[in-house]
């Protein structure tokens, strides 16, 4: 049994990633070139990393790409990470940056292609529920940042401070983005109710 | 009151709707595959370093060998030139003989000291 798998077994039940006492040991092992330790870090954080990316990019496929890019960046920058810092917060900042880069690249590409119709941002084949359809539409009307903030806060449960750190904006801005996003979505849902 | 309730229901609907739209793929198979893809890319990066290094090792060694030979030749030629100059200077006669150039000065100096000591 390798050192990394021993560490993994000692975790016990899953909890918040940064609360794991052996996270630091895993990070140090990964910094020393133990790829199994890095694989364990990937395993422990990939779902949350996906959620962060998914909140920022438009599609599931882009979120997958961003997660892979993010982990690659993290691997390359691992020797610069201080093991006493919370690994999750550091990793999610990288994930957010990878996602924002991807969004920027997509924007440039889309501007070059000049599509005739505005694509629906969320892959949801066979969706017939009116509420979800309207919600989908409403989300396209929010700014990218507002959409990211509301998803990170209301769906993923990140705090305003964490969201601010991830997206590189002040905590107050994250708070006000959330307020505006909620108000906009609420308005649209109210219209749906009155239509039904 | 009804407004508050309506707002609360709307928020619940929004959150519920968002959760269903943003639901992460379920099932361990998906996550195992994603992990494998990430680690494959990481391995490429690791391998990339070594292959890159390996790609540069031979040209670097070749260049170092050429530099070493060139430096050796340059040093040999410099020594050869120094030896030639030294031999030439030894064989060619000086314009003024050393003895005639120095002796009068030394003699004058010595005589001056002797005169100074005994001539008082």
**Measured between beta carbons, which residues in chain B are less than 8 angstroms from residue A71?**
38, 41-42
Residue B9, SS3? helix
Full-model pTM = 0.64
* Residue B120, SS3 per DSSP: coil
The low-confidence residues of chain B, meaning pLDDT below 50, are: 1-6
- Report the C-alpha gap between B73 and A61 in whole angstroms: 62
**Test mutation, B37, B38, B47, B48, chain A, max A CBs within 10 A:** B38
Contact A46 B11 (CB under 8 A): no
Instruction: Give me the pLDDT at residue A14, please.
Output: 37
- Sign of the torsion formed by the C-alpha atoms of A106, A144, A122 and A130: negative
* pLDDT at residue A28 greater than cutoff 50: yes
Find the CB nearest B21 among A46, A64, A122. Answer: A122
What are A156-181's pLDDT values in tens digits? 999 999 999 999 999 999 999 999 98
ipTM of the complex: 0.74
pLDDT of residue B92: 74
pLDDT in tens, A128-142: 467 777 788 888 888
Instruction: Assess whether pLDDT exceeds 50 at residue A122.
Output: no
Please give the Cα distance from A177 to A146 (Å, whole number). Answer: 5
Asked if A46 reaches chain B (Cβ–Cβ under 8 Å), the answer is yes
**A window 79-118, beta carbon within 8 A of B:** none
Q: Report which of A127, A102, A185 is spatially closest to residue A151, judged by C-alpha positions.
A: A185
- Check residue A118 and report its DSSP letter: P
Helix (H, G, I), strand (E, B) or coil at B90: helix
- Residue A94, pLDDT score: 96
CA dihedral sign, ordered B102, B105, B111, B116: negative
- Quick check: A47 pLDDT over 90? yes
- Using the Cβ of A67 and the Cβ atoms of chain B, whether some distance falls under 8 Å is answered with yes
What span, in angstroms and rounded, lies between the C-alpha atoms of B87 and B64?
Answer: 34
């Amino acid at each position: 049994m390798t050192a990394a798998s021993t560490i993994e077994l000692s975790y016990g039940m899953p909890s918040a990633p940064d609360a794991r006492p052996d996270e630091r040991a895993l990070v140090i092992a990964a910094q020393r070139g133990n790829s199994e330790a890095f694989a364990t870090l990937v395993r422990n954080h990939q779902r949350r990393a996906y959620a962060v990316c998914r909140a920022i990019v438009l599609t599931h496929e882009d979120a997958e790409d961003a997660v892979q890019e993010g982990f690659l960046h993290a691997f390359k920058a691992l020797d610069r990470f201080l093991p006493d810092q919370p690994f999750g917060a550091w990793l999610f900042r990288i994930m957010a940056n990878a996602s924002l880069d991807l969004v920027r690249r997509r924007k440039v590409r889309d501007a070059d292609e000049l599509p005739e119709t505005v694509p629906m941002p969320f892959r949801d084949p066979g969706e017939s529920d009116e509420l979800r359809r309207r919600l989908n539409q409403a989300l396209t009307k929010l700014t990218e940042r507002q959409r990211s903030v509301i998803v990170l806060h209301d769906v993923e449960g990140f705090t305003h401070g964490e969201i601010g750190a991830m997206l590189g904006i002040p905590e107050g801005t994250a708070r006000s983005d959330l307020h505006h996003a909620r108000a906009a979505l609420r308005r649209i849902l109210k219209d749906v109710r009155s239509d039904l | 009151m009804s407004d508050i309730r309506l707002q609360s229901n709307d928020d619940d609907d929004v959150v519920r709707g968002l959760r269903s739209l943003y639901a992460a793929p379920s099932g361990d198979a998906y996550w195992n595959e994603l992990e494998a893809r990430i680690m494959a890319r990481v391995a490429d990066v690791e391998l990339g370093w070594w292959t890159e290094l390996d790609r540069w090792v031979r040209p670097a060694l070749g260049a170092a060998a050429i530099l070493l030979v060139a430096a050796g030749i340059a040093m040999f030629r410099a020594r050869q030139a120094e030896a030639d100059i030294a031999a030439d200077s030894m064989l060619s006669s000086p314009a003024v003989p050393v003895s005639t150039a120095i002796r009068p000065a030394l003699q004058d100096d010595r005589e001056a000291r002797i005169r100074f000591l005994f001539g008082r």
